[in-house]
Amino acid sequence: MSKVDRRIAKSQLAIKNAVTELMSEKGFDDITIQDIADRADVNRGTIYLHYTDKYDLLDKMIEEHMENLRELCKSASDMTFQEGNYVWFEYFERHSLFFSTMLASKGAPYFRSRFLDLVVEEYKPEVDTTDGKNQGLSVDVILQFFASAIVGSVEWWFKNGMPLPARVMAEQTGALLDRNLE
């Protein structure tokens, strides 16, 4: 039975990689199930066995990465912003084709929105408006401001070919968060 599980996992990985590669070459709307099957070297039926259609496939890919980022946040909860950001940037770097494609693609604006929501959700416990620098400010405004800054920094990083190492991005974005959220 574990042999079947490995084959299923291998097929699903090939399918996901195929979609990501195809999206880096052309718009999502122009990609067909047959394109995905050909690139992944699987039958169309294999794709339909796991996914309703290409939109379901993309949604599940996005959700998988969002869940992985949530888990990374949990594991980094006792770290500084710089250390925690490094965990994220390291993940972004390992999955650079997916993230750069999603953030650059006009066919996947849903991803940016989901990513922004995730950042807001994860940073919410860090915002304190009862005293200090942020006293009297709206929690929602603070969260939107910093989430947009983080997502924008990640977009910039990918759109410019990751010009700085992940550690430098993490240190610099972490320093900015430390200055403003503490």
Which has more confidence, 181 or 173?
Answer: 173
Q: Decide which of 80 and 47 is more confident.
A: 47
As given in the structure block, the two tokens for residue 104 are: 């650059």
What pLDDT is recorded for position 3?
53
Fold assignment, 1-51: Arc Repressor Mutant, subunit A (1.10.10)
Q: Indicate yes or no: pTM above 0.75.
A: yes
Q: Is pLDDT at 4 greater than 70 in this prediction?
A: no
In this predicted structure, what is the pLDDT of residue 44?
A: 93
The answer to whether the beta carbons of residues 28 and 105 sit under 8 Å apart is yes
Tokens of 163: 């010009």
Question: 154 pLDDT band (50/70/90 cuts)?
Answer: very high
Mean pLDDT throughout 115-133?
Answer: 87
Domain definitions of the chain by residue range: 1-51, 59-181
pLDDT score of 1: 43
Mean pLDDT over all residues of the chain? 88
Residue 164 has pLDDT above 70, yes or no: yes
Encoded amino acid at 104, one letter: A
In this predicted model, which residue has the larger pLDDT, 33 or 104?
A: 33
DSSP the chain: -HHHHHHHHHHHHHHHHHHHHHHHHS-GGG--HHHHHHHHTS-HHHHHHH-SSHHHHHHHHHHHHHHHHHHHHHHTTTS-HHHHHHHHHHHHHHTHHHHHHHHH-TT-HHHHHHHHHHHHHHHGGG---SSGGGTTS-HHHHHHHHHHHHHHHHHHHHHTT--S-HHHHHHHHHHHHHHHH-
* Mean pLDDT along residues 114-129: 89
Of 7 and 16, the structure prediction assigns the larger pLDDT to: 16
